[in-house]
Amino acid sequence: MSEKIKEVAERIKGLREIAGLEVEAIARELRVDPDEYRKYESGTTDIPVGFLIDMAHRFDVELTVLLTGEEPRLRTYCLVRADKAPTVDRRKEYRYRDLAYNFIGKRAEAFLVRVDPKPSKAKPHTYSHPGQEFNYVLKGTIKVTVNGHELILQAGDSLYFDSGKDHAMTTVGDEPAEFLAVIL
């Protein structure tokens, strides 16, 4: 796993330990299998963004703290230059760039997501997390599955959905795709 994921894992473990919680208790509270949770804390597996958002809400910290180890500092506006957004490398085919990482008290999380093509027989991993999500495709074509419904989105298409339902994204074709994801 990448060094960044290991650093995030250490922060997750630190929050749990400071709160004096056992793995089983926090895993149950966040609706995660305890063995999967242990993998998150060990830094040996990808940590879903939805889980990180839940963790940040549970411990009343900004997602930025989990991702970067630093407190956000801005209250009026947050300008993020094209090459300065912190990246979150998750699964091999997904790369997230946090587009508002330094704003205090965000009501939504905004990411630029790049999805690389997967082998055609590979099944995409599904996610679910409380809230709602808005995706706007900037480049390429993606197949989004929400609660069993498959939707094809191309550049310029958008999708708003209940992110508590199982959902997955994968590219269509051999080219990478990019979309703006806003998680509420």
In order along its 184 residues, the chain shows pLDDT tens digits of 578 888 999 999 999 999 999 999 999 999 899 999 999 999 888 888 888 888 998 999 988 898 888 888 888 988 988 888 877 655 566 788 889 988 998 899 999 999 888 766 667 778 888 889 999 999 999 999 999 999 999 999 999 999 989 998 899 988 999 999 999 9
Counting other chains too, the contacts that 18-23 makes at CB distance below 8 Å and 24 or more residues apart are 19/59
In a domain, 77, yes or no: no
Using one digit for the tens of pLDDT, what is the confidence trace for 87-135? Answer: 765 556 678 888 998 899 889 999 999 988 876 666 777 888 888 999 9
Residues 27 and 111 reside in one and the same domain: no
Residue 145 neighbours by CB under 8 Å, 6+ apart: 124, 126, 151, 166, 167, 168, 169
Query: CATH no. for residue 104?
Result: 2.60.120.10
Query: Looking at residue 45, what is its pLDDT?
Result: 84
Tell whether 166 and 91 lie within a shared domain. Answer: yes
Q: Give the total number of structural domains in the chain.
A: 2
Let me know: does 150 contact 143? Beta carbons within 8 Å.
yes
Q: In this structure, are 178 and 94 located in the same domain?
A: yes
Q: Are residues 123 and 157 in the same domain?
A: yes
Residues 54 and 22 in one domain: yes
Are residues 44 and 92 located together in one domain of the fold? no
Write out the residue range of the structural domain in which residue 56 sits.
Answer: 3-68
Alpha-carbon 22 to chain mean position: 24
Place of tokens 């500092």: 73
pLDDT over 70 percentage in the chain: 94
Is residue 73, in this structure, part of any structural domain at all?
A: no
58 in any annotated domain: yes
Residues 91 and 176 grouped into a single domain = yes
